[in-house]
Amino acid sequence: MSKPLVQVVPIRPRPAELFIQLLGESGFSEAREQAVRLTRRLNGRRIWNINSTAAGGGVAEMLHTLLAYARGFGVDTRWLVISGSPEFFRVTKRLHNALHGERGDGSRLDGTAHEIYDEVTAANAAELEHVIDSDDIVILHDPQTAGLIPYLSRRGIGAFWRCHIGMDEPSAEASAAWKFLAPYLTEARAFVFSRFAYLPDELYHGRCLISAPSIDPFSPKNQLMDDVTARAILRHIDVIAETGNNASRHFTRSDGSIATVNRRADIVREGPPPAASAPLVVQVSRWDRLKDPVGVLRGFCRAISLGAPSDAALVLAGPSVKAVADDPEGGEVFEEVVQCWRALPREQRRRVHLVNLPMDDLQENAAMVNALQRYATTVVQKSLREGFGLTVTEAMWKGKPVIASAVGGIQDQIEHGVSGLLLKRPADLDAYAGSIVQVLNNPGLAARLGENARRRVMKNYLGLRIVSNYDDLVERLEHDQPEPHTDVVGDTV
């Protein structure tokens, strides 16, 4: 028997009471009342989230954690992952890049691309008929799932499409992507975007909701971790030099159990790892050209010549290139980074470390990322395009000075010079290098930026709002009358 195309991702309920320490008793009571009201309104219906991967990227991370809190509140929300051929994911990666205004592999979004997309979509839709009931509610995520909307609509199922990517200004590439997607989107009940600027002219704005993402402060990636534990984890995975310390490598899983980081990273480097005392410049992201890992590497080398501390090191980290099924370009991009690294002078090569983090255990992987960000002297995110940039949010939550491009949702998060440093022109390597030198050589500035960053995340990007936002979607579905304006909601996933 062949493996099903559609996979159910198990979600274990997580106690929402954890948020009392952040929201206070009154704020939590309000969320609990909303959950009771939502459960009553659902009256046995289920809320399904559908995307194309359970591992890798901000969407999967949000679904893992926020859906668990919704279930902890008693809301029956579930998660499905669709599958596809390499050709299908080539088309959807092309759409992903185009929505960011980039050409990607330059392949045509033509009739052949539609045939590939439609064939995979139809096969997944056929399996969904046996899983989703006609009165359920479905939230579809990003271009990979848009083709399911007509199939769900024919069965009378309320489908919402959540687009996590976009760009601030129109472009020919983005228009081509929206033209490709338009036939599938017409029957969606509503659309959810991260930023108002991402709304394309092709959509009816009265059916659009605006929702900034948030992070889970209690997840393995964001939970409190002391310096001793972070050092022990980084020593174990060989990111920093071993000094004989046998400190615990423990972290707390989402179910409350204690686990240990046991797996190791695959690292491309020349010579030993940096000393435990060395300043670390860290970027953690997918191996994606839009994250500009080659530019991160080259800019760091310029920072060396501009006066960065002599022992400073760059750690470029991402998921194992074999682990993210819906990103066919990951291996190619990593190889491009390796080739750029090999072309560096030997002394510069010795200060750059390319880290592939194992993805076999997603929560163990998250603990590794937590340790990397917490131990970093500065976290950078030199994206050329960005949907929202949860990696930035995570680093800010940990009180780190962040140097990032003023693109997409990053510019909403960081107040330049107050809670981080923004690069007006992401391709400006001199400005990027200068910012690195400024932060590494000025501990007082670094501390001030980090403190302000954590306060900003506490105020704007934490909270237990998924229940109230699902309640908004159910209300919209029940009334089924689009408003003549664009609504703004919270952290609808």
Domains of the chain by start residue, with CATH? 7-214+463-489 (3.40.50.2000), 227-460 (3.40.50.2000)
**Residue pLDDT, tens place only, 50-70:** 999 998 777 888 898 889 989
**Are 435 and 221 within 8 A, CB to CB?**
no
**Residue pLDDT, tens place only, 368-403:** 999 999 999 999 999 998 989 999 999 999 999 999
Side-chain-side CA neighbours of 352 within 13 Å: the count stands at 27
**Are 294 and 383 within 8 A, CB to CB?**
no
User: Higher model confidence: residue 314 or residue 328?
Assistant: 314
Structure-block tokens of residue 187:
């029957």
**Please, where are the H alpha helices in 43-171?**
58-72, 86-99, 111-128, 149-154
**Residue pLDDT, tens place only, 73-87:** 999 999 999 999 999
Percent of the chain with pLDDT over 90: 73
Q: What is the mean pLDDT of residues 217-240?
A: 95
**Are 83 and 122 within 8 A, CB to CB?**
no
User: Higher model confidence: residue 27 or residue 296?
Assistant: 296
- Model pLDDT, residue 83: 96
Closest by alpha carbon to 340, among 264, 472, 429? 429
- Model pLDDT, residue 483: 44
pLDDT above 90: residue 453:
yes
Question: Residue 232: left if φ>0, alpha if ψ -120 to 50, beta else—which one?
Answer: alpha
Residue 482 confidence class, pLDDT cut points 50, 70, 90: very low
Side-chain-side CA neighbours of 48 within 13 Å: the count stands at 27
Our measurement of the distance from residue 311's CA atom to the centroid of its chain's CA atoms, rounded to an integer in Å, reads: 31
The one-letter code for the residue type at 61 is E
Return the CA Rg of the chain. 22
Q: What is the mean pLDDT of residues 460-473?
A: 79
Is residue 362 exposed (0-12), middle (13-18) or buried (19+ Cβ within 10 Å)?
buried
DSSP assignment, residue 30? H
- Model pLDDT, residue 350: 97
Residue 476 confidence class, pLDDT cut points 50, 70, 90: confident
pLDDT above 80: residue 326:
no
CA distances from 157 to 49, 124, 312 (A): 13, 16, 55
**Are 403 and 435 within 8 A, CB to CB?**
yes
Structure-block tokens of residue 61:
């991370």
Parallel, antiparallel, or unpaired for β 250-252 and 258-260? antiparallel
Residue 206: helix, strand or coil by DSSP? helix
Q: What is the mean pLDDT of residues 30-37?
A: 89
Average pLDDT score, the chain: 91
Q: What is the mean pLDDT of residues 337-355?
A: 97
**Residue pLDDT, tens place only, 171-210:** 999 999 999 999 999 999 999 998 888 988 877 667 888 8
pTM for this model (two decimals): 0.82
Sheet with 421-423: list strands edge to edge.
266-268, 352-357, 313-319, 280-284, 378-381, 402-405, 421-423
Closest by alpha carbon to 85, among 148, 5, 142, 177? 5
**Residue pLDDT, tens place only, 91-108:** 999 999 999 999 999 999
- Model pLDDT, residue 324: 58
pLDDT above 70: residue 330:
yes
Q: At what angle do helices 227-236 and 362-375 cross, to 10 degrees?
A: 120
- Model pLDDT, residue 379: 98
Residue 48: helix, strand or coil by DSSP? strand
* Of 245-249, 317-321, 329-333, the least confident: 245-249
**Are 6 and 124 within 8 A, CB to CB?**
yes
- Model pLDDT, residue 485: 42
Distance, CA of 27 to CA of 78 (rounded, Å): 25
Distance, CA of 393 to CA of 17 (rounded, Å): 22
pLDDT above 60: residue 356:
yes
DSSP assignment, residue 195? -
- Model pLDDT, residue 62: 85
**Residue pLDDT, tens place only, 127-163:** 999 999 999 999 999 999 999 999 999 999 989 999 9
The one-letter code for the residue type at 184 is Y
What sign has the CA pseudo-torsion 64, 65, 66, 69? positive
Closest by alpha carbon to 29, among 38, 41, 42, 16? 16
Residue 244 confidence class, pLDDT cut points 50, 70, 90: low
- Model pLDDT, residue 484: 40
Q: What is the mean pLDDT of residues 302-323?
A: 93
Residue 233: helix, strand or coil by DSSP? helix
Longest dimension (CA), the chain: 65
Distance, CA of 245 to CA of 238 (rounded, Å): 13
- Model pLDDT, residue 205: 66
Distance, CA of 34 to CA of 475 (rounded, Å): 12
- Model pLDDT, residue 254: 84
**Residue keyed to tokens 């402060």:** 217
- Model pLDDT, residue 56: 74
**Are 410 and 461 within 8 A, CB to CB?**
no
Closest by alpha carbon to 161, among 220, 120, 202? 202
